[in-house]
Chains A and B, each alone.
Chain A
Amino acid sequence: MSRIPKERKVQNVHRSAGPPRPIGPKPVPKRFHQARWDEPIIFELSTPGARGILPPPVEAGIREAVGDPAAALPKGVRRERPPALPELSQIHVLRHYDRLSQETLGVDLNIDVGQGTCTMKYSPKVNDQLIRGPKAADLHPLQDESTVQGMLEIMWRLERLLREISGMDRFTLQPGAGSAAIWANLAMIRAFHAARGEADRRDEVITTLFSHPSNAACAKTAGYKVITLRPDAQTGYPSLDALNAAVSGRTAALVITNPEDTGIFNPHIESFVQAVHDVGGLACYDQANANGILGITRAREAGFDLCHFNLHKTFSTPHAGGGPAAGVCGVTSELARFLPTPTVEGDGERFWLDHDRPDSIGKVRPWYGVAPNIVRAYAWIMSLGAAGLREVAEIAVLNNNYLMKRVLEIRGAAAPYAEGHRRIEQVRYSWEELARETGVHTDEIGLRAADFGVHYWLSHHPWVVPEPLTLEPTESYSKDDLDEYAAILRHVAGEAYTDPEIVHTAPHRSTVHRVDDSALDDPARWAMTWRAYRRKVGAPA
């Protein structure tokens, strides 16, 4: 290193004389500032002629034998001009994306309790290493089964673990994520009723307002009329009376989450399932919120016919900025014949794919599932075992109730519904009182929270809880982490009362400042690509 001349060294501004004192401790909340590289759009980094990577040249022997077949393509079939992609040297591509990555806040970096309903837990690095070697990454799905016995065995084993965790009889690992698993379950529900000649008669699906939007949306896409039950104002979950009024001979299924996004467990769920069974409908359990109940309670005991898990939530696979994820659907033996094709079969020694499934709903995605996440989830479960999974659930619930206590100590915060009851793995809070008293709204609190290096998520739509905030602390965070997150909320809530302007104008220490998003709903100004943007702002081509 270079030495700074003595006369220009910085003096200790806090203490110019006397004995040394400790530099710390860190203030709470910390003086975070996110990376701000002010990075151009990649097209602006283009230098004509630059190369990022070179494809292998065509060998002379091939060229001599066949010439240039691309040149023989008919006019109109051949591309006339090369695509106007940016041209960058390799280091510039790397640097650009490394910088963008630094302007992104993953679980690895933050106390990620602020993205409620998403179960943001630690994704073990060892599992990531396992899936990146060629023995996992470079397998083709059509390889002969004899050459993928290890992968098939992992799939077979994971299914057996999931069967025990849920109590269901068979699983598919095929869906690409949670909503795709919901879709697969609805397709199986449709197939089940069609096989009984009741497809036309059963045209309604019942769900609840605090269940994920995809439960309603997938049902609609599958051709069903959607009936949505609203939460009771006291308990936070729909009443059995409301369900009884909704079920009928037209009911194809109830699709429900429990605990719902409020973290409140519906204790009447068995009666809900029974009421649907009584009219000949199926009960389908969206288990996106399973993290707090692993080893505590299962789909089987509540009588469900179908369920799904999100491997990227409960089972630790990384969320990948919004996928690749993985969804898995479990069903009772009565519904197993409808599972997507193929299923993975085995005898404990040898493993194979069964494509001969005439009643199956067929494919929900290419091949057999998101294999890297299947391996990661398997490794995660195998690193914990039964006692470990139970510990995951218990600590997730303990963390949640602890954080709830801390949050509710903050002026202006509330947790609507079920007063005096514990919550399972998450809570939907409300800043209604704070908003009324300060004029600061929940979305603004979230943007200010970004100044302290954390995420903050509001709620799915519609906002049944006013000024919502949903926190799910999972098992991955320490007591100190939870205290820090609560301290950030307390700090920002305090600002709302004392200095609301700083919250209204946030973020201040994020990568960018407040976005003028008026263009995003205006067809004349919205731009989903650089070419559209350049055209709309009249930039030269």
Chain B
Amino acid sequence: MAADQPIVHPYIPNSIPAIKAEMLAAIGASSVEDLYADIPESLRLRRPLDLPPPYRSEVELVRHVGGLLDRNVSAREVISFLGAGCYQHHVPAICDEINSRGEFLTAYAGEPYEDHGRFQALFEYASMMGELLEMDVVNVPTYDGFQAAATALRMAARITGRSRVLLPASIGRDKLSKIREYLKPDLAVGLTPYDPATGEVSVPKLQGALGADTAAVFLENPNYLGVIETEARGIVRLAHEAGALAVISVDPSTLGVLAAPASFGADIVCGDIQPLGIHAHYGGGHAGFIATHDEERFVNEYPSRLFGIAPTIVDGEYGFGDVAYDRTSFAKRELGKEWVGTAAALWGITAGVYLALMGPQGMTELGEGLMARTRYAIDALGVIPGVTIPFRKRHHFNEFVADVSAGGRTVAEVNAALRERGIFGGADLSVQFPELGQAMLVCVTEVHVRADIDRLAAVLKETLR
């Protein structure tokens, strides 16, 4: 088709020339150009955009885009031990089924009437997270766990009126980068070292760092190095004694077996729900949660939307709506708390579906199974000459550090060798945590069977020989 011929595009109903003419006549315009009369000539682009020729037919489009995607190697085609904040858990079919529903997928910001179902699904998501976390308030998801942590810390600073937060030095460097940038210029960030023997936050060092300006002690459980913080209860107590809040980031998939942070006194709990039934999506599957107890001074500091349940004029009918809307930037612009916008609602609905499918037994079995597989992997790798598991004796959930320095190879070299054998090795920590040597963070999930772990061990052993 010649470029100057009119195009009737399947996505643009009124591109039919006769209809266009009829509509122009109806509004008294001689051409569409008339409608742009207010845009000064100096701003007009008087040439076509210089874009590649389009693939107008679906066949051509799928060949092109599908062809590009086909060049990827999916983590399902190999045995992957990558985690580090993005996890290859099994995604139940029902999760994909529900988040593919056009009603949810193409909804947006409707009212609690025509979008009643969306409100209910998100209220239920928050309610199920509330049971997992043993907390009464959970937000409509924010973008991701990084944002949830950064906002939780700002909330803590507003609540306490203090200006410094303490983060564990074991935090991932990307998350640290996000938090630092987000807390500027109001809050200072201090790092508490971890104990090199255990990988857990050093309690004496933390104690020394606490001060009258400490707004929050931030803890990750399990931490980025895969270690479960067994002193968390004591750390929370120390934070409280110093007048600070305890903000704990948690992987929700652990909570079938690990105690909810609220049970040992956490004030604000946050994290990422990607492990709950959401694909990795090359890092596009994240959504963040923030949870607190139902106290006004906490609720009023959320920037996020909070959906609440309410009666309607008909007995027995549940209605929903925004709770304490006036705290938000939607209501008050710069006078609201931080800012709110479109974030990750559909992932919230998906995580709700996941929790409903798993139930109490599923979450418990999942956690027990992950801990068993991970311990098996620690033991299997720990006996390989050239591999050291620095925190071997500690409790791990589904990730652990393995140092290959003694084998004389870098993680990058080892992973390249593994890749040739159909294995994606653990995340390379050598740049983020040089003090750990040539360390990789190995992640095990329920998609791995014993043979997968044995194969990793066997190939690693061969590689390091």
Most chain B Cβ neighbours within 10 Å, of A57, A366, A517, A520: A366
Instruction: Please determine whether A319 and B108 come into contact, CB atoms closer than 8 angstroms.
Output: yes
Flag whether B159 is at the interface (Cβ < 8 A). no
- A139 — which chain B residues lie within 8 A by C-beta? 72, 74-75, 280-282
Given contacts A132-B96, A132-B100, A223-B185, contact A62 B450 (CB under 8 A): yes
Instruction: Name the segment of A13-21, A39-47, A494-502 touching the other chain.
Output: A39-47
Instruction: Please determine whether B101 and A98 come into contact, CB atoms closer than 8 angstroms.
Output: yes
Flag whether A374 is at the interface (Cβ < 8 A). yes
Cβ of B456 to closest chain A Cβ, rounded Å: 14
Expressed in whole angstroms, the Cα–Cα distance for A202 and B316 within the complex equals 56
In the complex, residue of chain A having the shortest beta-carbon distance to the beta carbon of B314: A513
Instruction: Please determine whether A135 and B70 come into contact, CB atoms closer than 8 angstroms.
Output: yes
For window 34-92 of A, CB contacts with B under 8 Å fall at 34-35, 38-39, 41-43, 50-59, 61-63, 65-70, 72-74, 76-80, 82-88, 90
Instruction: Please determine whether A321 and B120 come into contact, CB atoms closer than 8 angstroms.
Output: no
Contact of B181 among A50, A72, A88, A361 (CB under 8 A): A361
Instruction: Please determine whether B356 and A73 come into contact, CB atoms closer than 8 angstroms.
Output: no
Contact of A397 among B35, B70, B75 (CB under 8 A): B35
Contact of B54 among A86, A223, A388 (CB under 8 A): A388
Instruction: Name the segment of A22-30, A238-246, A398-406 touching the other chain.
Output: A398-406
Instruction: Name the segment of B13-21, B189-197, B207-215 touching the other chain.
Output: B13-21
Report A266-285 CB contacts with B as 1/0, cut-off 8 Å: 01011000000000000000
In the complex, residue of chain B having the shortest beta-carbon distance to the beta carbon of A110: B114
Expressed in whole angstroms, the Cα–Cα distance for A521 and B325 within the complex equals 8
Flag whether A391 is at the interface (Cβ < 8 A). yes
Instruction: Name the segment of A2-10, A328-336, A377-385, A431-439 touching the other chain.
Output: A377-385
- A382 — which chain B residues lie within 8 A by C-beta? 52, 54-55, 61, 64-65
Given contacts A86-B359, A267-B40, A371-B284, contact A100 B339 (CB under 8 A): no
Instruction: Please determine whether A147 and B72 come into contact, CB atoms closer than 8 angstroms.
Output: yes
Instruction: Please determine whether B284 and A372 come into contact, CB atoms closer than 8 angstroms.
Output: yes
In the complex, residue of chain A having the shortest beta-carbon distance to the beta carbon of B415: A144
Instruction: Please determine whether B357 and A402 come into contact, CB atoms closer than 8 angstroms.
Output: no
- A302 — which chain B residues lie within 8 A by C-beta? 43
- B65 — which chain A residues lie within 8 A by C-beta? 127, 130, 154, 375, 378-379, 382
Instruction: Please determine whether B333 and A516 come into contact, CB atoms closer than 8 angstroms.
Output: no
Flag whether B80 is at the interface (Cβ < 8 A). yes
Flag whether A136 is at the interface (Cβ < 8 A). yes
For window 148-191 of A, CB contacts with B under 8 Å fall at 148-151, 153-154, 161, 164-165, 176-180, 182-183, 187, 190
- B308 — which chain A residues lie within 8 A by C-beta? 519-520, 526-528
Expressed in whole angstroms, the Cα–Cα distance for A436 and B44 within the complex equals 42
Cβ of A485 to closest chain B Cβ, rounded Å: 14
Instruction: Name the segment of B85-93, B163-171, B384-392, B457-465 touching the other chain.
Output: B85-93
In the complex, residue of chain B having the shortest beta-carbon distance to the beta carbon of A124: B11
Given contacts A65-B376, A138-B74, A270-B42, contact A397 B14 (CB under 8 A): no
Instruction: Please determine whether B180 and A362 come into contact, CB atoms closer than 8 angstroms.
Output: yes
Expressed in whole angstroms, the Cα–Cα distance for A364 and B177 within the complex equals 8
Given contacts A106-B105, A371-B284, A516-B319, contact A297 B357 (CB under 8 A): no
Given contacts A66-B376, A322-B345, A512-B318, contact A398 B38 (CB under 8 A): no
Contact of A510 among B13, B37, B113 (CB under 8 A): B113
Contact of B299 among A132, A161, A401, A523 (CB under 8 A): A523
- B147 — which chain A residues lie within 8 A by C-beta? 176, 180, 365
Cβ of B173 to closest chain A Cβ, rounded Å: 9
For window 1-38 of B, CB contacts with A under 8 Å fall at 3, 7, 9, 11-15, 19-20, 22-24, 26-27, 29, 32, 34-38
Flag whether A477 is at the interface (Cβ < 8 A). yes
In the complex, residue of chain B having the shortest beta-carbon distance to the beta carbon of A46: B359
Instruction: Please determine whether A384 and B9 come into contact, CB atoms closer than 8 angstroms.
Output: yes
Contact of A457 among B109, B228, B363 (CB under 8 A): B109
Instruction: Please determine whether B319 and A515 come into contact, CB atoms closer than 8 angstroms.
Output: yes
Report B285-315 CB contacts with A as 1/0, cut-off 8 Å: 1110000001010010000001111111110
Flag whether B364 is at the interface (Cβ < 8 A). yes
Instruction: Please determine whether A214 and B80 come into contact, CB atoms closer than 8 angstroms.
Output: no
- B287 — which chain A residues lie within 8 A by C-beta? 323-324
Contact of B42 among A70, A301, A402 (CB under 8 A): A301
Instruction: Name the segment of B131-139, B238-246, B402-410 touching the other chain.
Output: B131-139
- B37 — which chain A residues lie within 8 A by C-beta? 421-422
Cβ of A338 to closest chain B Cβ, rounded Å: 11
- B141 — which chain A residues lie within 8 A by C-beta? 323
- B294 — which chain A residues lie within 8 A by C-beta? 523, 528, 532
Expressed in whole angstroms, the Cα–Cα distance for A124 and B136 within the complex equals 39
Contact of A140 among B52, B88, B323, B330 (CB under 8 A): B88
- A394 — which chain B residues lie within 8 A by C-beta? 32, 35
Contact of A529 among B130, B174, B185, B319 (CB under 8 A): B130
Flag whether B413 is at the interface (Cβ < 8 A). no
- A85 — which chain B residues lie within 8 A by C-beta? 128, 131-132, 355-356, 358-360, 363
Contact of A126 among B15, B53, B62, B342 (CB under 8 A): B62
- 26 contacts across the A-B interface (CB closer than 8 A): A54-B362, A55-B358, A97-B349, A105-B114, A106-B105, A108-B102, A115-B110, A137-B280, A139-B75, A141-B282, A177-B341, A264-B38, A295-B45, A366-B85, A366-B178, A366-B283, A371-B284, A375-B69, A383-B61, A405-B27, A475-B11, A475-B15, A507-B113, A516-B313, A517-B310, A533-B309
3 smallest CB-CB distances across A and B, nearest first, come from A367-B283, A179-B341, A385-B54
- Give 7 A-B pairs besides A319-B106, A322-B109 with Cβ atoms closer than 8 angstroms: A50-B359, A74-B230, A82-B360, A221-B154, A221-B338, A302-B43, A401-B35
